[in-house]
Amino acid sequence: MKFDLSDDQKLLQQRIGDFARDKIAPGVDERDENEFFDRTLYDEMGSLGLTGLCYSRDLGGSGGTYLDFALAVEEVSKTDDSLASSLSASVFLCQWPISQYGTEDQKQKYLKPLAEGRHLGAFALTERNAGSDVAGMQTTAVRQGGEYILNGGKIFITNGGEAETYVVFAMTDPAKGSKGISAFILPKGLPGFNFGKREKKMGIRGSVTRELIFENVKVPADQLLGAEGQGFKIAMTALDGGRIGVAAQAVGIGQAALDHAIRYAKERVQFGKPIASQQIVAFMLANMATRLEAARLLTYQAAYAKDEGRPFSKEAAMAKSYASDTAMAIATDAVQIFGGYGFSREYPVERLMRNAKITQIYEGTNQIQNIVIASALLR
């Protein structure tokens, strides 16, 4: 079994790391403070090819792998997890369903500009009374001739209002429960498709999270994604891939927190010597590093399984669950090592701790991941 990254993957990491240092790092604290999504930075990531890493060249991608993309998300997350969240939501949750279930016309019209980085994507599933209970969604799509009429709303939508393309889920046959859900591709600007409040969040403040509102939105029937009633399957398989993205984000956050903690522990002098020389601090750092490496291996394993065309739902759920818990634990320990300074916005570990928390929540809480894992084990 080979664990080493290829030379091309190492070069990819270096290239993205350089971009993150030179372009993303300046202003990251200001973007967090002002809750500002910098579309210019996202467009630059598109120019670098990050938005199409795992898609074929004829669809605007670079023909890479999902592991390549996980590496990219990890590198961006080390500097700005908000930007990584917007990237992952577009690539894994919006673009992937179109690539797998879309018609050739849909792929050329919607996927290609997304993969090329000219458009931003969003995935609209969650509602006020339908979070993990997807079958409880109230948004409806009623067929009338050659179009569907959408009514309802979605909440907590990453890239909401900023994205040009939305994969939206709605009930086409409420009597069938989850089997009555269908997926649609909605471009921004359709009459009746509006945006509600923008969420004010604890973390990932530089990524827009917004409410979507549908009021008699007329959607041409050729914008149905997949077959009618296939929406639940599309959503669940998209979330499997999305969990790899979340795990990669968590690994990036954990690595950044560990790096800051090591640097501070070597510089901070107490009782005449660096606190890193205190065994309790050194052991904390050792434990943080060990957990992080385990999380990284789980994440890479899940991405590799997806690239190989093998079942990966269990692996993705394990990676997401363990990596997000690890990111939260490492960021918390980093704040502890910084002491009072860690609680201050003067140092980045405070932001990393806030951002780590969301990785335990989105793409399904870690309790949901346990259901996925247990189901696979007991099937």
Residue range 221-263, pLDDT digits in tens = 999 999 999 999 999 999 999 999 999 999 999 999 999 999 9
Could you confirm whether 363 is annotated as catalytic?
yes
Helices then strands, counting H and E runs in the chain, come out as 13, 10
pTM: 0.95
Per-residue confidence (pLDDT) for residue 12, from 0 to 100: 95
Residue pair 23/81 in contact (Cβ under 8 Å)? The answer is: no
Per-residue confidence (pLDDT) for residue 4, from 0 to 100: 87
Residue range 92-114, pLDDT digits in tens = 999 999 999 999 999 999 999 99
Residue pair 361/283 in contact (Cβ under 8 Å)? The answer is: no
Per-residue confidence (pLDDT) for residue 250, from 0 to 100: 98
Give the chain's domains with CATH numbers: 7-120 (1.10.540.10), 122-231 (2.40.110.10), 237-378 (1.20.140.10)
Per-residue confidence (pLDDT) for residue 364, from 0 to 100: 78
Which residue in the block uniquely carries the two structure tokens 């050194």?
Answer: 282
Amino acid at 50: L
Which residue in the block uniquely carries the two structure tokens 């634990």?
Answer: 329
Closest CA to 119 of 34, 72, 189: 189
Question: Of all residues in the chain, what percent carry a pLDDT higher than 90?
Answer: 94
Digits of tens for pLDDT over the chain (379 positions)?
577 899 999 999 999 999 999 999 999 999 999 999 999 999 999 999 999 999 999 999 989 999 999 999 999 999 999 999 999 999 999 999 999 999 999 999 999 999 999 999 999 999 998 777 788 899 999 999 999 999 999 999 999 999 999 999 999 999 999 999 999 999 999 999 999 999 999 999 999 999 999 999 999 999 999 999 999 999 999 999 999 999 999 999 999 999 999 999 999 999 999 999 999 999 999 999 999 999 999 999 999 999 999 999 999 999 999 999 999 999 999 999 999 999 999 999 999 999 999 999 988 788 899 999 999 999 8
Q: How far apart are CA 283 and CA 262, in angstroms?
A: 11
Closest CA to 138 of 151, 157, 148: 151
Residue pair 355/205 in contact (Cβ under 8 Å)? The answer is: no
Active-site residue (options: 74, 127, 162, 363): 363
Per-residue confidence (pLDDT) for residue 23, from 0 to 100: 96
Residue range 332-365, pLDDT digits in tens = 999 999 999 999 999 999 999 999 999 999 887 8
Beta strands per DSSP E along the chain: 121-124, 140-144, 147-158, 165-171, 181-187, 193-198, 209-220, 224-225, 269-270, 273-274
